[in-house]
Structure 1
């Protein structure tokens, strides 16, 4: 499995700041297209808006949860309603259907949902509270909405993984990534539910108050942090890379978050206001000095750029190496191994 292909240095440039009609605050953001997103507040409003902040559609039955909606690979909206049912709103005919009915006799209630673009599965994080103690779990549903996996306990210690899973996402490696506000951590497991790591403390040394979360094309993790008034950026193994100080651009309480892999635009929503900042995220030279201008192979779009040809000074996918004789006698290295070698030489 490919993990982090490169350690990337980020530079985020504020493109615009929007005042979004139809919501009081911007708790969660789900991308539909490069210029359209769904945004929700805590009053049960869920609106479709564009890059001008205009209200294009409006629902009023979303539940009082944080990461309560997602968009599937067809552009359909998936959301948790006031009765904790999970609904689908079709893009084509605007027909609403309940795809997972809430069992109101069960102790568990859904808190956030994510539709996987690679598998079509739904990841639903749930909680229940007993004696003022919160416990969480993640349930995976397949395309026919059968419960096929539950992630709840550490696969070695048996301890519970989650307390308050407020936001959930997935990266290209299939890792399940949860923002847990009570634990003050980003909790990551692999696709099989095996615990990988928890990220609790940014470089500044303060505690973490994680909220909205998303990933980029290289499986890096971006998470809103209330304590540092920033968006923290981690590699896919949980190592701190850098941060965007949203407080410098008027957002002191970053909450909602969405990343567009096609345009490299990052949408950041404000907890206290109906304001969204849109940043252009530029991936600058990594510590390896390797060129990273395009994360997807142009000849083989489904393949990551995992190989580096040293004589040609170019990043390639494995299919480029196997199907082309151009690099047959060249010194071609695995990007991750090369990155680690350079790190070792530099004493990093």
Structure 2
């Protein structure tokens, strides 16, 4: 078996969370082939895509013995900015530098959208198959969220009701995820906060991680079937867990040696997958 797919069962280790939330259990550790895994995307209970700091993307199937189902280079020579999977199970990734969105299908990479002014960063598919994209302009002075159906721009989240920018200028990414109640969850890495909008683009709440002692550094985020929101805090080696109304449920911390967390995803069985950039491992956490 490929050593990158070694599975270490760790059923006795428990992550520390508040008493209001069931304590998750670390059920598996996967040794990947990526030097520094940064992003991942799940499809169903057994398929996962992984990318790191280079231009390689790997597809894995974790049923039975782990196996690599696909491996390819992006073509630009640069790492993908973010990964997602469409409703048909096709990998889609953003290329910040080329200002393009690509799709992997039948062993080939196809351009989905090309932008002239905007650089895509965080991406996700909605329950209706629309694509949400976090973007910045070339000079990083403006950021926004767009919703696409194919190449058609359906919605733009850019300014508040007073005409003020919703997102802070700067070269750090904004990541986006649709919650199961159709809310739009956005991690503004530059502003060090997470904003949650309703489907129409109105702000429902803002989370600034005030419960932690050190500075809150939000990165990638994910949601589960219960509408809980999971966000990686790279500065504190924590995963913050909120309910759909913004109430803090607890943290996933380093009780099991979790370190250098970067990417996060939730599979169809509500297991949380987290990449560790320092160890090249993925931790799989079950909490329901």
Aligned pair partner of 1:138 in 145, 156, 162: 145
Given the alignment of the two structures, is residue 96 of structure 1 paired with residue 96 of structure 2, yes or no? Answer: no
**Matched ranges for 1:32-181 at <5 A:** 32-51=43-62, 54-61=67-74, 64=78, 67-81=81-95, 83-90=98-105, 93-103=106-116, 106=117, 108-116=118-126, 118-128=127-137, 130=139, 134-142=141-149, 144-154=150-160, 156-163=161-168, 164-181=172-189
Given the alignment of the two structures, is residue 18 of structure 1 paired with residue 30 of structure 2, yes or no? Answer: yes
Residue 196 of structure 2: aligned partner = 188
Kept in 2: contact 1:10–1:242 (CA 8 A)? no
Question: For the structure 1 residues 232 and 62, does the alpha-carbon distance in structure 2 shift closer, same or farther, using more than 3 Å as the test?
Answer: farther
Kept in 2: contact 1:258–1:266 (CA 8 A)? yes
- Alignment partners' CA distance in 2, 1:31 and 1:121: 17
- Alignment partners' CA distance in 2, 1:148 and 1:50: 34
Further displaced range: 156-165 or 247-256: 156-165
| Residues 191-210 of structure 1: per-residue CA shift (max 9 Å, x gap) | 11112222112423443111
Kept in 2: contact 1:85–1:102 (CA 8 A)? yes
Kept in 2: contact 1:153–1:159 (CA 8 A)? yes
| Residues 285-327 of structure 1: per-residue CA shift (max 9 Å, x gap) | xxxxxxxxxxxxxxxxxxxxxxxxxxxxxxxxxxxxxxxxxxx
Given the alignment of the two structures, is residue 203 of structure 1 paired with residue 211 of structure 2, yes or no? Answer: yes
Given the alignment of the two structures, is residue 30 of structure 1 paired with residue 41 of structure 2, yes or no? Answer: yes
- Alignment partners' CA distance in 1, 2:248 and 2:104: 37
Question: For the structure 1 residues 210 and 148, does the alpha-carbon distance in structure 2 shift closer, same or farther, using more than 3 Å as the test?
Answer: same
Post-superposition shift, 1:165?
3.8
Residue 11 of structure 2: aligned partner = none
Question: For the structure 1 residues 77 and 281, does the alpha-carbon distance in structure 2 shift closer, same or farther, using more than 3 Å as the test?
Answer: same
Larger radius of gyration: 1
Kept in 2: contact 1:20–1:54 (CA 8 A)? no
Gapped runs of 5+ residues in structure 2?
Answer: 1-18
Question: For the structure 1 residues 66 and 273, does the alpha-carbon distance in structure 2 shift closer, same or farther, using more than 3 Å as the test?
Answer: farther
- Higher strand share goes to which structure? 2
**Matched ranges for 1:300-339 at <5 A:** none
After the TM superposition, which parts of structure 1 deviate over 6 Å for at least 4 consecutive aligned residues?
Answer: none
Post-superposition shift, 1:180?
1.6
- Alignment partners' CA distance in 1, 2:231 and 2:108: 33
Kept in 2: contact 1:111–1:166 (CA 8 A)? yes
Residue 275 of structure 2: aligned partner = 269
Residue 10 of structure 2: aligned partner = none
Gapped runs of 5+ residues in structure 1?
Answer: 1-6, 283-348
**Matched ranges for 1:290-301 at <5 A:** none
- Alignment partners' CA distance in 2, 1:88 and 1:166: 20
Kept in 2: contact 1:9–1:242 (CA 8 A)? yes
Output the aligned Cα RMSD.
Answer: 2.2
Question: For the structure 1 residues 169 and 62, does the alpha-carbon distance in structure 2 shift closer, same or farther, using more than 3 Å as the test?
Answer: farther
